[in-house]
Structure 1
Amino acid sequence: MSGSTIPYHLRQNKAVERNLFIELLARVGRVRNISEYEYIGFGGPFMEDHKALHAALRMGKMHSIEREQNTFLRQKFNYPAKFIQPHCKESGEFFRTHNFSEKGTVVWLDYTTADDLNEQLNEFHGVVAKLDTFDVAKITLNASTVGLGNFAEIPEIEKAGKRREVLQARIPNFAPADLTDKDFQTKKYPATLQRCVQNSLRDLSARDTELYFHPLSTFSYADGQTMLTITGMVFKASGDAEVEKFISESRLDQWPFANLEWAPPMAINMPALSAKERMRLDECLPIDDHIINNPAEHLKEHLGFIPGATDGELSNYAKYYRQYPHFSRVIL
């Protein structure tokens, strides 16, 4: 479940990913009445995800699951509105008894720990199997290689092999058979973990109708430890025409952040910028097609200096600047 001590509402990369999630759901809303969907998630102490989805999409039926008693008490203290129903229980207990809405469901299982990966994948599979067509499911997993073991006592070159062995032992039913040590390099591990999620959903079926999970977006980001997030929709396995119709009508095939084919996740790695630096950079965004191959140099030239950011971070800003969060001091 969401960590009780981490200020998620101040994490810029997670905030960008949340804003992209809202954009995706808004596109779903072009085809389905997303405001009538119920939302189920791990609210954490501040319930930022719930508040953001309600504000942007008018979703008015929500559930927040929290197993830690103290965090649950903080939730009640920070309770933003009556449309959220808080539940102090294990997520497994909640999903065993919950009756999903016939009007549609969005569920987000936002995990933070790496040790319980097998349990997390099984739970996600079990939840998705209970959903219906056009329901949306999202999972966030710890994609830090350190979560597979630090192995400080062995040479760096041997760590990838040890971590491969740990993952294969941790999720023997879902780890791809063709994994190599290269798949456990820091930058490649989110894609490796994504393949594990894909494997865990291959035998998906629900009730008397075979369903399947179709990916819509996948991202990796780090505000500390690297995380992987995958969002998809449930469709009938025999409904190719239905899938094509939905993607066309929602224009997800025109959304630059969509991942409809299990391609490697897009990385979100935003720079830390002052408000003045952002305003200056925004003057030359979006970037024209003829300079899109070298956005970082274009932004540095426009700014007149290097703002303590790597070329990759600046290129990310050019890509995700619309979703970049605005933090400011306010008087209450």
Structure 2
Amino acid sequence: MSGASIPYHLRPHKAVDRRLFLDLLNRIERWSPLKDFVYASMGAYPLEDHKLVHRLLGVTRLIAFDMDDEVVLRQNFNRPVETCRCMTKKSTDLISDFDNILSECGFADANGAIIWLDYTNPRQLGHQIREFESLLNKLAPGDIVRVTVNAHANDFSDPQAPGAKPPLASEKMQTQFNNLKSRIGEFLPSSASPNDMTPEGLARTISLSFAGAALKALPVSGKNEFCPLSIIRYADGEQMLSITGIIIAREKRQQLLENIDLASWPFSSNGWEDIHRLVVPALTLRERLFFERGIVSKTHQEMISEVGFKSAAGVAVEEFLDSYKKYYRFYPTLMAAEI
């Protein structure tokens, strides 16, 4: 099932990750107003991120794209404002013809760009890294880029023949690593090994692969760089990796980080290996309100004792409370309603 077709109410991690992105954009506004930027992303059929970018930041120059005509038709119906342009395009086409697309949409006067490339196909990882590199070559200082890719180790395994003996763990990791290497080629970090085919290790390896692409697009000899601001891994079934950063003049990087007070933000990343794990169990409304009420003042053990259970939706309560304290303000409230 593609990311465009998964019901959003079944993706609480995605919802929290999206709202953290908006919170980060709010911080970036301390450095530069974003109201007159253009926002472009795949958006899927509900255009949830377009709605939030418009409502919270006031951005009206919106572009949504998808390869599926039917998805684009639904996007057109779900547009948050009339100035949202929906088009049938591949991400490659959007990147290669970005300036012309802005002109055709009437957005050539935008002060900058916020672009989210939200991928789902792990077999196209190498192509996705190269698209990221091409995009950085197109953009200017102040532009913001976010990319989400599949970082699930099992998606790098070979299909098992019917009746075949399951491979040993070491053999499986070696096969996964070989497939990862064949897909991303030159972008594979020299330090990577089959031992990295774990959730944490694969996320780090892929993040460093994007770091290599960023360095290739904006080498140290140039005046600009791509500064990663937040890198998060999460799993609504399969592990995903989200990388958000900004193109900035090297001499202004420290000033930017101080202005937006990034160090005080719980999900900030101080480099490409600083990756946060987002743990979002499915909670009932009553459970959520209980944890939300006590998360600031009570210890984990006190809350576990009071609530009376130690796991929620297969996640240990002790495990998610540290993460929950950082993101509880962004936890989605999903309720049934009859309209």
TM-score, with structure 2 as normaliser? 0.89
Shift of residue 26, structure 1, vs aligned partner: 0.1
Could you say what the CA RMSD is over the residues aligned between the two structures, in angstroms? 2.0
Q: Say whether the 8 Å CA contact 2:224–2:247 is kept in structure 1.
A: yes
Unaligned segments of structure 1, at least 5 residues: none
Q: Say whether the 8 Å CA contact 1:204–1:210 is kept in structure 2.
A: no
Residue in 1 that maps onto 2:191: 178
Residue in 2 that maps onto 1:23: 23
1:154-233 equivalences in 2 (<5 Å):
154-205=167-218, 210-233=223-246
Q: Which AA in structure 1 matches 2:183?
A: R
Bigger shift: residues 174-183 or 255-264: 255-264
The C-alpha deviation readout for 1:259-317, integer Å capped at 9, x for no partner, is: 032233101111211111111122212257xx5xxx3x232123233353412123322
Shift in alpha-carbon separation, 1:218–1:298, aligned structure 2, 3 A: farther
Asked if 1:110 is matched to 2:123, the reply is no
Residue in 2 that maps onto 1:71: 71
Residue 300 of structure 1: which of 298, 301, 304 is its match? 304
Tell me, in whole angstroms, the C-alpha distance in 1 between the residues paired with 2:9 and 2:117.
Answer: 17
Shift of residue 69, structure 1, vs aligned partner: 1.3
Residue in 1 that maps onto 2:261: 251
Shift in alpha-carbon separation, 1:307–1:164, aligned structure 2, 3 A: closer
Tell me, in whole angstroms, the C-alpha distance in 2 between the residues paired with 1:298 and 1:212.
Answer: 46
SS of corresponding position for 1:212: strand
1:304-323 equivalences in 2 (<5 Å):
304-308=308-312, 309-310=315-316, 311-323=318-330
SS of corresponding position for 1:216: strand
Asked if 1:261 is matched to 2:268, the reply is no
Q: Say whether the 8 Å CA contact 2:66–2:90 is kept in structure 1.
A: yes
Q: Say whether the 8 Å CA contact 2:65–2:89 is kept in structure 1.
A: yes
Shift of residue 76, structure 1, vs aligned partner: 2.1
Q: Say whether the 8 Å CA contact 2:133–2:216 is kept in structure 1.
A: no
Tell me, in whole angstroms, the C-alpha distance in 2 between the residues paired with 1:315 and 1:253.
Answer: 18
Shift of residue 145, structure 1, vs aligned partner: 0.6
Shift in alpha-carbon separation, 1:150–1:299, aligned structure 2, 3 A: farther
Tell me, in whole angstroms, the C-alpha distance in 1 between the residues paired with 2:145 and 2:297.
Answer: 33
Residue in 1 that maps onto 2:137: 129
Shift of residue 191, structure 1, vs aligned partner: 1.3
Residue in 1 that maps onto 2:5: 5
Q: Which AA in structure 1 matches 2:258?
A: S
Tell me, in whole angstroms, the C-alpha distance in 1 between the residues paired with 2:120 and 2:201.
Answer: 19
Shift in alpha-carbon separation, 1:286–1:329, aligned structure 2, 3 A: same
Between Structure 1 and Structure 2, how many residues are aligned?
321
Residue in 1 that maps onto 2:163: none
TM-score, with structure 1 as normaliser? 0.90
Q: Which AA in structure 2 matches 1:298?
A: E
The C-alpha deviation readout for 1:25-79, integer Å capped at 9, x for no partner, is: 0000112111111101001111111111111111111101111112112222333
